[in-house]
Structure 1
Amino acid sequence: MRRSWPALAVGGVLMQLQSILDSCDGELARLRFQGSKLGQWLDNLSDDLLDVAFVIGAGVAAGGAWCTLALVASGLRVFGQAVMYHEVYRRTGSGDAYSFRIWFQRDKGEVQEVFGVKGVGGHLRALFRRDTYVFAWMLLCLCGQVEAVVIYGSILGGMIGVLMALHLLLRGPLPPPRA
């Protein structure tokens, strides 16, 4: 498949626009007290599926081994997200991904502790926040660097998959399902 800069640029800008509008709809739902468990699930799942599709699309646009890398990394991400959503649902009965804690995180933490940008871990976490990587993907698409999108998406997908595999091995027994 032959890629073109205008198609890459439009794809990146549309992805960024979706991210901005996605942030607005959740805030509006909360402000109007119209949030729901189904809305949480749909919001989080649609973001994750769109991210996976975008990385695969970038891999197809880049062609060759880039497509294979995008598919493998996307598979790892889907596995990791499935593990996370399963545990979130068992613990909370909702799709609130922010309630998930990996094996080395405390269940309760201060906002600054969970979302702060201190130290190497905080800076890495900031690089892998959805708003950050979608913006980076847009910039990379505008620069015609679709392979870099695949690399960024593959690092993200690989980290999610590996962390969740380790989480399964190290977390201990699952809490009983929420009634």
Structure 2
Amino acid sequence: MTAVLLYDPKGARYQRNLLGLTVQDRLERSLLRDGAGSVQHISAHSFVNGPVLLVPSTLVGTSQSLKALVHGRGCAKFEIGGAPVLRLDSMHSIPTNALNDLESWIQDGPFPVATVDGELINITNKATAKEATTFLLRSLRKAEDGLISRSLNRPMSLFTTRILAQTPITPNQWTVFTAILGVIGCLVMAQGGFWALTLGAFLIHMSSVFDGCDGELARLKFQYSKVGEWLDTICDDIVNSSLMLGLGLGIAATTGQEFYATMGITAVILNLSHAVVVYYYLYTQTGTGYALDFKWWFESETNNAKGLSENSGLLSTLMMMVRRDFFVFAFFVLCALNVPQIALWLGFIGALGMFTLSTVQTLIIPVRRRSRNRRHILNDAE
């Protein structure tokens, strides 16, 4: 694996804070994430075996660009904002006297010049720091974002994450906060009446908006974990179920018809039953707690929940409509239009549909697994 040695270019200010981490700390964590064997600050006593990458300590880059540098082969020089990066097959190529001014030695050396895909910025002043901040936040967007998340929620969550990154708040703490906000919204809805239903639905929508911040914060400050994935997924399901309960109780309190409360309670049971199937699949099949890693039996290997935003067709449209960002916003709009009954019916139908699919999933998957194992046995016998 390639070892990375960091050097300080002229006028380096690598202790500058960039979204909660110093530039050098962010660079070190990014390089290790993207496959570097080791990362250390170069000194007269530095020595590593094998390929080495000399990188200015003021560099910030996307995962794509850093992976290209780390996993590349052969000697090559990359000019990045005046501070060069050099890839060598061995540290033996570096003369001892060059350690005092690596930047000049790299720039003046007869090394083949190459380019790298992706964004790389050398932080030298406020302007470049601002540019790096912008592209780091932009990199937090996800290709699988739903319609509402992409156009409405994500811009608001990124603005919030930019502020949160400067605080000691952790992603898991923020996950719990957004869940509490959502449950409060459900309690407000349960009081009944137009304003309670609308305000409660708005609070739940804002909970959905802020829910994106925990993942953004985790990726931005390298605080992601399996526990965080599961906490986020479970809290989302708690709020989703509370939404149906609060909606049913609120409409029942408004109209005096207990039928709506029964609908809400039934939807909660259906939602939780579906969640159990999802949790089991994630735990046994993917090893993650990320809900979008769940894959239905009728989806291809590339057309799961993560890829639906890039595909078209009736199935994709229906699956996008049951995405949390979409239905939470739709429920808020319906409550604001004073037709919460439509929201409850849609939620109930959606819960029933997901429960039905989950039930089929529990029957299909074991049969497919046994069939696949049988084919493997027959192939081995041949």
TM-score normalised over the length of structure 1: 0.88
Shift of the 74–10 alpha-carbon distance from structure 1 to 2, 3 Å rule, reads same
Q: 1:95 — aligned with what?
A: 289
Moved more, 104-113 or 116-125: 104-113
Moved more, 117-126 or 37-46: 117-126
Amino acid corresponding to residue 352 of structure 2 in structure 1: G
Unmatched segments (≥5 aa) in structure 1: none
Amino acid corresponding to residue 60 of structure 1 in structure 2: L
Amino acid corresponding to residue 226 of structure 2 in structure 1: K
Q: Distance in 2 between matches of 1:71 and 1:174?
A: 33
Count residues with an aligned counterpart: 175
Amino acid corresponding to residue 49 of structure 1 in structure 2: I
Deviation at 1:92, TM superposition (A): 2.7
Matches within 5 A, 1:26-65: 26-63=215-252, 64-65=258-259
Unmatched segments (≥5 aa) in structure 2: 1-189, 253-257, 370-382
Amino acid corresponding to residue 330 of structure 2 in structure 1: A
Q: Alignment partner for residue 361 of structure 2, among 157, 160, 167?
A: 167
Question: Does structure 1 retain, via aligned residues, the 8 Å contact 2:267–2:348?
Answer: yes
Would you say 1:66 and 2:255 are equivalent positions?
A: no
Amino acid corresponding to residue 220 of structure 2 in structure 1: L
Q: 2:338 — aligned with what?
A: 144
Deviation at 1:98, TM superposition (A): 1.8
Question: Does structure 1 retain, via aligned residues, the 8 Å contact 2:293–2:306?
Answer: no
TM-score normalised over the length of structure 2: 0.43
Q: Alignment partner for residue 11 of structure 1, among 180, 197, 200?
A: 200
Question: Does structure 2 retain, via aligned residues, the 8 Å contact 1:61–1:146?
Answer: no
Shift of the 39–110 alpha-carbon distance from structure 1 to 2, 3 Å rule, reads closer
Greater helix proportion:
1
Following superposition, which runs of at least 4 residues in structure 1 exceed 6 angstroms of deviation? none
Q: 1:22 — aligned with what?
A: 211
Greater strand proportion:
2
Structure ID, larger Rg: 2
Pairwise CA RMSD:
2.2
Q: Percent identity?
A: 30
Shift of the 111–68 alpha-carbon distance from structure 1 to 2, 3 Å rule, reads closer
SS of the counterpart of 2:298? coil
Q: 1:119 — aligned with what?
A: 313
Shift of the 142–79 alpha-carbon distance from structure 1 to 2, 3 Å rule, reads same
Q: Distance in 1 between matches of 2:282 and 2:326?
A: 24
Q: Distance in 1 between matches of 2:267 and 2:292?
A: 23
Question: Does structure 2 retain, via aligned residues, the 8 Å contact 1:11–1:141?
Answer: no
